[in-house]
Structure 1
Amino acid sequence: MEINVEEFDRVAREVFAPVYPVIAEQIKQKTGITRGTCLDIGCGGGYLGIALAGITELFIYLFDKSPEMLEIATRNIAGHGLQKRARTLLGDVHEIPLKDQSVDLVISRGSIFFWENQQKAFQEIYRVLAPKGAAFIGGGFGNAELKKLIDARMGQKDRNWQERINKNIGENAVETFVKTLGTAGISKFEINRGEAGLWITIWK
């Protein structure tokens, strides 16, 4: 799927900006992982990974298949003074260019809905996770108040916005993800779906 990189990043900065620190705190509270290595899949400009770096001691890989997105992420790393704590990584979730059991935490907001083969992607994520590692993946908006705000703003930009949200995190999403995770051979997971979106937590 081709995207307009500049427009995508502008929306991330102008519309979704309040979401990243909230989700970063949720990741920290849910997983309890604050040290080691983190992989932010489909990072775009790196906003979620950078927010998490600000409240933990994690080293962050900002991982995306778009070189243009990673150029923006590189600028954002420098802008936050994180050159020693973060770096970009080019590649695809279906073939993550990292060693087995080399990552303590995997995070991703929004990219899961663009994965061509979710089963293969989950298997790759599980492969790179270290023992006692965790993954926090999904399509959340932080909290119900932020979701309402974003729905209103995105609805003005995209008339199909609500339809896409319902497709991605609607009533059937949990059942679909349970089946996909099972097929991927992952047994230790939790799926939370509420007013603020949907998150999958995987433990190893």
Structure 2
Amino acid sequence: MKIDGNKFSKIEKEVFAPLYPLLAEQIIAATGKTTGTCIDLGCGTGALGCALLQKTRLQMLFYDEYPQMLELAAEKMAEQQLAGRFSLQCGDVANIDLADGAVDLAVSRGSIFFWEHLEKSLQEIERILAPGGWAYIGGGFGSQQVMDEIIARMEAKPTEGKESFSAKIRRNLGPEMQARFASALSRAGIRNYTVLRNDEIGLWIIIRKCDNGLPAEGLQASR
């Protein structure tokens, strides 16, 4: 898939910017992770990772298959004066070049809908989580109000006969995608997960990596 990084960055800044601080707060509330190493998978311009860095003491690894996106993420970190708290890595989420247990938190917004090998990617994410680590992967807007505002702004843009933005959101965050995620997690052999979906938060996979082989407290498989 060909991506125009500059166009992507422009839309992120002008339209999507309000959602990232909200998502960062939701991730922190759900996982409790404020220190350690975090990987932002399919990071794009690094907006989610940046929001997490601004609210925590995490170290961030920005990971994307497109070098241009990593360049844009580095520019954003420089703009926000976050030098020394991040690194960059180019690669495929289905084959992450990191050791087992390398990260304490894995996050991703929007990228999962483009992953060609979903089961393998989910296995890789669980593999690189340290014992007690968390993954928060999916799509959402932080709140219903922000989602409605972003949809309105995106719908006002010319679509050139393509699928409307609201239709894409319904497809990506709907019950069929929720069922697809749950099925992929089960086939991947991942035990400690939940799949959350509602209009307020969107659709998210939450994985907890345990070191005792038992289900995480308060985290039940959504099957």
**Category of TM-score, reference length = shorter chain:** over 0.9
1:82-123 superposed Cα distances (whole Å, 9 cap, x missing partner): 111112111110111111111000000000001001101101
Q: CA separation in 1, counterparts of 2:60 and 2:139?
A: 20
1:192 aligns with 2:196: yes
- Where do residues 20-99 of structure 1 align in structure 2 (5 Å cutoff)? 20-99=20-99
Contact 1:191–1:201 (8 Å) recurs in 2: yes
In structure 1, the gaps of 5 or more residues are none
Q: Which residue of 2 aligns with 1:129?
A: 129
Contact 1:77–1:87 (8 Å) recurs in 2: no
Q: CA separation in 2, counterparts of 1:43 and 1:166?
A: 22
Q: Which residue of 1 aligns with 2:216?
A: none
Q: CA deviation at 1:187?
A: 1.2
1:133-190 superposed Cα distances (whole Å, 9 cap, x missing partner): 0000111100000000011111122452122112211121221111100011111111
Q: CA separation in 2, counterparts of 1:27 and 1:130?
A: 17
Tell me the C-alpha RMSD between the 2 structures. Answer: 1.0
SS at match of 1:133: strand
- Where do residues 108-127 of structure 1 align in structure 2 (5 Å cutoff)? 108-127=108-127
In structure 2, the gaps of 5 or more residues are 210-223
Q: CA separation in 1, counterparts of 2:117 and 2:143?
A: 29
Equivalent AA in structure 1 for residue 166 of structure 2: Q
Q: Which has the larger radius of gyration?
A: 2
Q: Which residue of 1 aligns with 2:152?
A: 152
Q: CA deviation at 1:5?
A: 1.3
Q: CA separation in 2, counterparts of 1:40 and 1:165?
A: 21
SS at match of 1:15: helix
Match 2:184 to one of 180, 185, 193: 180
Equivalent AA in structure 1 for residue 179 of structure 2: E
Q: CA separation in 2, counterparts of 1:98 and 1:64?
A: 14
Contact 1:108–1:136 (8 Å) recurs in 2: yes
Q: Which residue of 2 aligns with 1:103?
A: 103
**Percent of pairs with identical residues:** 46
- Where do residues 9-28 of structure 1 align in structure 2 (5 Å cutoff)? 9-28=9-28
Q: Which residue of 2 aligns with 1:170?
A: 174
